[in-house]
């Protein structure tokens, strides 16, 4: 392969990263902006994540690679590296990143380089870890405990962070999504749709969920950025619904999941929804 | 395919074309005047209140003080509790209708007075997943249970806890 071709391919790989997830994450405690919010990487590729201090004080951010798992309820939980299975922890050895600590002046940004190196013997499939961006609290900034003259006082400093998934796919694992058990409920002035997102195959699925009239084009309610990771064969999704919008809808309803993962080809799955 | 991904693919194509041009500038005779702008959405997490256990006078027996998400306090038997209490509260703003997960990374923490005295705190939130509203707003609270030891030494105790907002 010629130099130019290699160079072009590298540029393509870099360019593809922000295109996959055109959103950015932002958190306070030294306001933090992270873009993009999701990385899907091929073996032996590179990418980058931009970190920007959107706050008004110089802040140090620590970057780490952590394990998270999804539950059947769709929540994301921490996984202790020490107790994780070899398969679950494999991504930690595939993904490199630098730097791991950044100090940024207000409005300053820096790129964190992400690399993926997959040994040729690695079995095909999807491997995932999560990049955690966290502001290191300023010691002087921590809420000063009150002098305790009449007992004890307590000061708790919260540290907030943002995590984004880094997904490594080896050998184009297949996957598909479908919807099941969609049920609409209205109680105490609240309307909600509960539905199970079913996942098959070896890769995660990711997309947007809409509730709409069976013959309509405009969603009544929408959730974006919903995933089902490979560790769950199904996950629950609760979609809150504006009752006014629901009242305007006539006739039968359906729920639709449009995959936005680039590996999905924009696959759409639908299921009918019974009105209560 | 969604409109957004079409735009994103368009941008990729533009970048690719740009890269190709920069490598062989001699062939870049007829550049068109395309301009692209990509509007990025952001999410922000801000603290709206501290988790505050108020003031406590310990007793001869160990007991707990629990602050619920509605800021109410349950003062363990034997303890004297006074002062205002609040649950930890965080506001989230971001893209309309986007879902994020919320987790307390270290739900069991230890507070110290800088010396040898310590107290354990258990933290919890009832919000594990959140869908931001049509205007991109959301919030969650953190409740806590403080374990006060028998004859706990008076002083100023401090500690840290970590909350993370996760994209899927």
Is B50's CB within 8 Å of A143's CB?
yes
DSSP β-ladder status, A152-170 and A39-41: parallel
Residue-range domains of chain A with CATH: 3-138+152-170 (2.60.40.10), 175-273 (2.60.40.150)
Structure tokens at A93: 């050895």
Mean pLDDT of B49-64: 89
| Per-residue model confidence as pLDDT tens digits over A146-182 | 444 556 778 788 887 888 999 999 999 999 999 999 9
Model confidence at B120, in pLDDT bands (50, 70, 90)? very high
A210 has pLDDT over 60: yes
The rounded distance, in Å, linking the Cα atoms of B42 and B30 is 37
The rounded distance, in Å, linking the Cα atoms of A131 and A66 is 6
Residue owning tokens 């999504």:
A177
Query: What CA–CA distances, in Å, run from B65 to B42, B81, B90, B95, B122?
Result: 37, 8, 22, 37, 11
The rounded distance, in Å, linking the Cα atoms of B139 and B90 is 6
- A152 by DSSP, 3-state: which? strand
Name beta bridge partners: B113: none
With pLDDT > 90 as the criterion, what percentage of chain B qualifies? 28
Mean pLDDT of A53-82: 89
The rounded distance, in Å, linking the Cα atoms of B2 and A222 is 14
Name beta bridge partners: A115: A46, A96
Instruction: Collect all residues of chain A within an 8 Å Cβ-Cβ radius of residue B119.
Output: 154
Query: What CA–CA distances, in Å, run from A170 to A42, A190, B20?
Result: 7, 44, 28
| A118 min Cα distance to partner chain B (Å) | 23
Is A75's CB within 8 Å of B103's CB?
yes
Mean pLDDT of B75-87: 90
What pLDDT sits at residue A187? 81
Name beta bridge partners: A258: A208, A268
What pLDDT sits at residue A150? 58
Phi, psi of B109 (to 5 degrees): -125, 165
The rounded distance, in Å, linking the Cα atoms of A158 and A218 is 40
To probe the interface with B, which of A28, A52, A74, A153 has the most B CB atoms within 10 Å? A153
To probe the interface with B, which of A156, A206, A258, A262 has the most B CB atoms within 10 Å? A156
What pLDDT sits at residue A78? 86
Is A223's CB within 8 Å of B19's CB?
no
Mean pLDDT of A13-18: 39
User: Can you say how many angstroms the Cα of residue A73 is from the centroid of all Cα atoms in its chain?
Assistant: 15
The rounded distance, in Å, linking the Cα atoms of B99 and A226 is 6
User: Can you say how many angstroms the Cα of residue A275 is from the centroid of all Cα atoms in its chain?
Assistant: 31
A151 in contact with B, Cβ within 8 Å: yes
Angle at B159 between CA B157 and CA B163, to 5 degrees: 150
Mean pLDDT of A130-153: 65
Option in A8, A156, A266 nearest B161 (CB) = A156
Instruction: Collect all residues of chain B within an 8 Å Cβ-Cβ radius of residue A76.
Output: 101, 103, 129, 166, 168
Closest CA to B85 of B33, B49, B115, B47: B49
The rounded distance, in Å, linking the Cα atoms of A175 and A128 is 15
A122 in contact with B, Cβ within 8 Å: no
Is A156's CB within 8 Å of B50's CB?
yes
B155 has pLDDT over 80: yes
Non-local (6+) Cβ contacts of A25 within 8 A are A32, A33, A34, A35, A37, A133, A162, A164, B42, B43, B165, B167
Contact of A132 with A63, CB cutoff 8 Å: yes
Is B20's CB within 8 Å of A8's CB?
yes
């Amino acid at each position: 392969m010629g130099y130019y071709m290699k160079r072009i391919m590298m540029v393509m790989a870099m360019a593809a990263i922000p295109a996959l997830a055109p959103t950015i994450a932002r958190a306070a405690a030294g306001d933090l902006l992270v873009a993009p919010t999701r990385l899907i990487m091929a073996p032996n590729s590179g990418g980058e994540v931009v970190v920007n201090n959107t706050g008004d004080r110089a802040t140090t951010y620590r970057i780490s690679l952590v394990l998270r798992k999804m539950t059947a309820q769709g929540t994301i939980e921490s996984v202790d590296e020490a107790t994780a299975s070899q398969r679950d922890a494999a991504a930690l050895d595939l993904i490199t990143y630098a730097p791991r600590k950044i100090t940024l002046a207000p409005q300053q940004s820096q790129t964190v380089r992400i690399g993926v190196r997959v040994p040729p013997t690695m079995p095909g499939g999807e491997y995932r870890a999560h990049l955690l961006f966290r502001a290191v609290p300023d010691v002087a900034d921590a809420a000063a405990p009150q002098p305790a003259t009449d007992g004890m006082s307590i000061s708790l400093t919260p540290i907030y962070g943002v995590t984004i998934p880094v997904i490594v796919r080896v050998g184009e694992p297949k996957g598909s999504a479908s919807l099941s058990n969609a049920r609409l409920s209205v109680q105490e002035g609240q309307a909600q749709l509960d539905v199970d997102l079913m996942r098959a195959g070896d890769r995660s699925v990711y997309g947007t969920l809409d509730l709409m009239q069976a013959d309509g084009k405009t969603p009544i309610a929408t959730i974006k950025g919903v995933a089902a990771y490979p560790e769950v064969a199904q996950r629950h999704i609760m979609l809150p619904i504006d009752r006014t919008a629901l009242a305007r809808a006539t006739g039968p309803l359906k729920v639709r999941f449009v995959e936005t993962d680039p590996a999905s080809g924009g696959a759409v799955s639908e299921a009918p929804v019974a009105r209560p | 395919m969604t409109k957004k991904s079409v735009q994103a693919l368009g941008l990729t194509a533009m970048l690719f074309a740009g890269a190709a041009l920069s490598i062989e500038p001699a062939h870049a005779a007829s550049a068109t005047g395309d301009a692209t702008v990509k509007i990025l959405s952001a999410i922000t997490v801000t603290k709206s209140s501290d988790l505050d256990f108020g003031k406590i006078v310990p007793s001869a027996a160990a007991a707990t003080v629990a602050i619920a998400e509605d800021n109410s306090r349950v003062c363990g038997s034997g303890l004297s509790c006074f002062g205002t209490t609040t649950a930890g509260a965080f506001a989230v703003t971001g893209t309309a209708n986007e879902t994020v997960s919320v987790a307390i990374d270290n739900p069991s923490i230890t507070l110290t007075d800088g010396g040898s005295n310590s107290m354990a705190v258990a933290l919890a939130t009832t919000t594990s997943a959140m869908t931001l509203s049509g205007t991109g707003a959301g919030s969650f609270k953190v409740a806590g249970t403080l374990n006060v030891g028998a004859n706990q030494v008076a002083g100023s105790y401090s500690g840290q806890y970590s909350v993370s907002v996760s994209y899927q």
